[in-house]
Every structure is written in C-alpha cells, then in structure tokens.
Amino acid sequence: MAEESDVLVIGGGAVGVCTAYYLARKGCRVTLIEKGEICSGCSYGNACMIVPSHAMPVPAPGVIGKSLKWMLKEDSPLLIRPRVDWQLLSWLLRFAASCRQRPMERAIPVLRDLGRASLLLFRELAATEDLSFDFEQQGMMSVYTTAAGLQEGREEAEIMARHDLELEILTGEEARELEPALNRRVVGALYSAEDAHGNSHRFVTGLGDALPKHGVDVRTGTEVTGWLLEGGRPTGVRTDKGDFRGREIVLATGSWTPLLARELGARVPVQAGKGYSLTMDRPTLSPRIPLIHAERKVAVTPIGDRLRFAGTMEFAGIDLSLNPTRTEAIRRGALEVISGAGNTANLERWCGLRPCTPDGLPIIDRLPRHPNVYLSTGHAMLGYTHGPISGRLMAEMICGEPTSLSLEPFGLGRF
Ligand SMILES: Cc1cc2nc3c(=O)[nH]c(=O)nc-3n(C[C@H](O)[C@H](O)[C@H](O)COP(=O)(O)OP(=O)(O)OC[C@H]3O[C@@H](n4cnc5c(N)ncnc54)[C@H](O)[C@@H]3O)c2cc1C
C-alpha cells in the first residue's frame, strides 16, 4: 500500500525544507522525501551569504567574453567541460542570449526583491523556530586588487543604484579600516550594508528538525526512482523504500530536477554548476565581514568558529568529484586578499552542484501538462538566500492564495 499525503516535497535542501515548512504551516499534510540526509546537497557547504545586494544575474553583458577566456583553463573561475550534450548546448545558447543589457536590467529587481523578502523571513524563522545558525548582519564586501577590476565595480555600483541597491565605493584604505583582515593588495571595494550571513547547514538542518513538530513526515535515505501514474496523471512517486502518494508533488531537487521531470516529458533547462569550498578553523586574524574577491570570484565567509573559502563554476553535468586544482585556485584567490589565514587546521574540502538556469532566475512553477507537479529549482548562486521566500511562494501557490511576490518572472514557459 502506498503512503498518502496532501503534498509530497522531494528534496531536503534549503528550498525543499523551506517549502515543506511553509506548506505545513498552512495546514497541509506533507511528506518530505530526501535521498541522503537533510542538507546533504548543494545547501551543505556553500558560502553562507544571505545577500539581497547580490542581484546581478550570472548572465550579464561581458560575461561571454570573460567565459571564453576562462573556459578551458583548469584553474579558472568558470570551466565548461566540453561534451556532446544537446541540453547543454541549448542551455548555453539561451545563456548567451541572456547576456544582454535588457534581460540583466529585468532580472536585477526580481533578484533584489526575492533577497529582501527572504532576509525578513530568515529573521522571522530564527525567532519563531528558535534556530541558532550564527546569523549576523555585517554586510558584504566585494574587493578588488586591480584598477581595471575596481572600475568594473564602480560601473556595477551605478547599475545597482538605479535599482535601489546601495553599494558604497571604498578606497583600499577605507576597506581595510572596515575590515582589518584585508591585506595591502586590495585597491578598493564595494560595501553593501544590508547583507547578512549564517551557517547554511545549521539553518537547513535546524528547520528540518522542526518539521515533525509541524506534522511533516520526513523520510531521509529515500530516493525517488520514478512516478506513479493513473490515466497518465502523476499520483505519487516510487522510491527505493516503497511508493508514496500525494495530491500535489513538488520537485525541489536542485540540479537533479531535470532527471525526474524528464520522465514526465518535461524539459527543465537546469545545468549543474559545480562549486567548491574549503572550511577551516577560524584564525586569530579572521575577516568579520563576508568578502568576495571579485576578480577571482572567490568568497571568504566567517561562519561561527570556522572560516570558509568558496567559489568556481564548472559545468560538467552531475559530477561530484573533487578537483584539487580548483580547490587550490580558491585557496590562492582567498589568500590574495586576506592576511592571517594560512592556517588550515581541520580543513574540510567540499563540492556541490548549483542548479543554474540560462537566465539566472529560478523556476517556481507547475508543469503545464501535469499541473499537480510543481518545480522549485534553478536558484544558482542564491539558493540559500532565496530558500525561505521560495518555500513561501510555493506554499502560497499550492494553497491557491495570493502570492507575496509576482510569480510571473519564474514561469517555466519563458524558456
Ligand atoms: C561553492 C558554492 C557557494 C555558494 N554560496 C552561496 C551563498 O553564499 N549564498 C546563497 O544564497 N547560495 C549560495 N550557493 C548556492 C546554493 O548553495 C544553492 O543554490 C542551494 O543550495 C540550492 O538549494 P536546493 O535546495 O535547490 O538544492 P540542494 O541543496 O542540492 O537540495 C536538493 C536535494 O534534492 C535531493 N534529491 C535529488 N534527487 C533526489 C531524488 N531522486 N530523490 C530524493 N531526493 C533527491 C538531493 O539529495 C539534495 O539534498 C552556493 C553554491 C556553491 C556550490
């Protein structure tokens, strides 16, 4: 006999856990199904930034030129492993089409609003569920080591100012005054005061632990292997632990979403963008403010008593192998801008797969041919930041309520 719920949420990352939470708070009977542990996917080892100001979509003017330069270099910030894959080719063509001024200007306010709404929800969730995840609002600083890089930063700040995002331009000295761990190579910075950070793993597992209290049946170690269909309509999922029925089914399966959607005949243009992180004990002279070395695309985040370096984007399909050349490039990039972090005590290396859409916006929608199957994926570099608001929007959509933000930019039909 299949077990039955109102809603099945597949995937126990930031997006899936927040979705299950908000559905349960609206009175739905929810089962959350996760093949590993809660937060064992991309939400585990990310850079932990909660950043409304990070509203520049990945595809933007100039990105193609930089990508071509970096593309095949083993230690570059962006790497595309060439392979015969029509999905990747079609994704890259759409990505190239999004690297223009107008799509970028359309995406910025959308990402800004998602980020701001989510930041409020982080605070609310932390208070309501008594979550402790080293949440701090210290802002975020993008730092530059070259005059050319800083000039690009100034231009970005001008674009962001048009969209009500205030990025303060600092000289090298001003940046070091605000963040003494920065070294003398830094020639300038952009500082956004509204950003925050907090341990992603502790946030997601903390909220995951609260789910049963709200009636959610959490099934970890349970892999969805296919669909239950009646008269062509999905009525549940098959797993390696038996069948589960649900009136509604949400795929919050990050980079794995296209695999499950494909079995229902749906094409979901999401590519896995692999990133790495290195986490170590926090040295005595550690940054207090989360940093991004803008030219190297490397993030440096203090997380409680640990310090994390994170970055790189590698399009190599579903591949979780750790490439030491790329982790070394991240370490070098971080040490280019900070002092005192040569310490690598209790070093943990990790990689995860960012679910990336070609236009840099997530997909929060239902499948047109199977309207009881929903998707919440494609959050790319911002899935932790956007987890709470994505969960809330999905719960509002499923419950037929007015949504907190317009869902129009997140429709699958745009592809
Ligand atoms: C290096 C790096 C740094 C980053 N830094 C930041 C940052 O600072 N701020 C930020 O906002 N974002 C950041 N991100 C992005 C963020 O981590 C992701 O966007 C986010 O984790 C995606 O969440 P998700 O829930 O969609 O996916 P995931 O966390 O990957 O969750 C999907 C889950 O689905 C499960 N699953 C898949 N298939 C099945 C199946 N068949 N059956 C059952 N379960 C299944 C997986 O096991 C997984 O747990 C970063 C990412 C990387 C790689």
Question: Side chain identity at 232, as an amino acid letter?
Answer: G
The residue type of 67 is S
How many angstroms separate the Cα of 314 from the Cα of each of 34, 93, 192, 270, 353? 25, 17, 27, 14, 9
CA distances to 56, 181, 360 from 108, in Å: 6, 30, 10
Instruction: Yes or no: say if 393 and 386 are a contact pair by the CB < 8 Å rule.
Output: no
The whole-number pLDDT of residue 83 equals 82
Residue 14, ligand 1, Cβ within 6 A: yes
d(CA 276, CA 297): 12
SS3 4: strand
Ligand 1 proximity of 44 Cβ (cutoff 6 Å): no
pLDDT class of 341 with cuts at 50, 70, 90: confident
Q: Give the count of domains, the chain.
A: 1
Note whether residue 68 is domain-resident: yes
Q: Compute the distance between CA of residue 135 and CA of residue 388 in angstroms, rounded to an integer.
A: 14
**What is the per-residue pLDDT across 262-285, written as a single tens digit (0 to 9) for each?**
999 999 999 999 999 999 999 989
Residue 2 pLDDT class (50, 70, 90 cuts): confident
What contacts 347, CB < 8 A, 6 or more positions away? 278, 279, 280
In tens, the pLDDT along 189-214 reads 999 999 999 999 999 999 999 999 99
pLDDT digits (tens, 9 = 90+) for 300-312: 999 999 999 999 9
Tell me how far apart the alpha carbons of residues 89 and 270 are, in angstroms, rounded to a whole number. 12
The token pair that represents 285 in the structure block: 């002279």
Residue 212 belongs to a domain: no
Q: Which strand (E) or helix (H) includes residue 108?
A: helix 101-128
Mean pLDDT of 94-115: 96
Binned at pLDDT 50, 70 and 90, residue 15 comes out as very high
In a domain, 161, yes or no: yes
Query: SS3 for 199?
Result: coil
Q: What's the CA-to-centroid distance between 150 and ligand 1, angstroms? A: 31
Instruction: Supply the mean pLDDT for the chain.
Output: 95
pLDDT of res. 1: 66
Q: Which of 182, 184, 190, 100 is nearest to 154 (CA)?
A: 190
Domain presence at residue 292 = yes
Pair 52, 248: CB distance under 8 Å:
no
Strand partners, 351: 276
303, part of any domain: yes
Q: Is residue 15 part of a domain?
A: no
Q: 339 C-alpha to center of ligand 1: Å?
A: 30
Distance 303 CA to ligand 1 centre (A): 18
Residue range(s) defining the domain that contains residue 300:
55-84+136-195+270-356
Q: Whose CA is nearest to atom 4 of ligand 1?
A: 46
Q: Is the CB of 279 under 6 A from ligand 1?
A: no
Cβ neighbours of 2 (radius 10 Å):
13
Tell me the two tokens of residue 156. 């970005």
Q: Are strands 242-251 and 3-10 parallel, antiparallel or unpaired?
A: parallel
State the pLDDT at residue 74. 78
Instruction: Indicate if the alpha-carbon torsion angle 96, 412, 270, 350 is positive or negative.
Output: positive
Among the ranges given (27-36, 75-84, 196-205, 288-297), the one the predictor scored with the smallest mean pLDDT: 75-84
The answer to whether 390 touches 343, Cβ cutoff 8 Å, is no
89 has pLDDT over 70: yes
- 45 versus 343: the higher-pLDDT residue is 45
The pLDDT tens digits of the residues spanning 348-401 come to: 999 999 999 999 999 999 999 999 999 999 999 999 999 999 999 999 999 999
382 lines ligand 1 (CB under 6 A): yes
Tell me the CA–centroid distance for residue 38 and ligand 1, in Å.
11
14 CA distance to ligand 1 centroid (A)? 7
- Segment 159-168, tens digit of pLDDT: 999 999 999 9
What local confidence, expressed as pLDDT, does residue 66 receive? 80
Query: What is the pLDDT at residue 114?
Result: 98
Q: In angstroms, rounded to a whole number, what is the distance separating the alpha carbons of residues 259 and 230?
A: 21
Residues with Cβ < 8 Å from 408, sequence gap 6 or more? none
Distance in Å, CA 353 to ligand 1 centroid: 6
Residue 367 lies in a domain: no
Rounded to whole angstroms, the Cα distance separating 269 from 380 reads 12
- pLDDT tens track for 125-174: 999 999 999 999 999 999 999 999 999 999 999 999 999 999 999 999 99
Note whether residue 347 is domain-resident. yes
- Give yes or no for residue 256 CB within 6 A of ligand 1: yes
pLDDT of residue 398: 98
* Residue 81 pLDDT exceeds 90: no
25 vs 84: which has the higher pLDDT: 25
Q: What are the tens digits of pLDDT across the range 60-76?
A: 998 888 877 777 677 88
Query: For residue 70, what pLDDT is reported?
Result: 76
Give the whole-angstrom CA distance, residue 156 versus residue 159: 5
Helix (H, G, I), strand (E, B) or coil at 11: coil
* CATH classification of the domain holding 141: 3.30.9.10
Q: Which of 283, 359, 274 is nearest to 320 (CA)?
A: 274
Whether pLDDT at 231 is above 70 = yes
Q: Pick 111 or 3 by higher pLDDT.
A: 111
DSSP 240: B
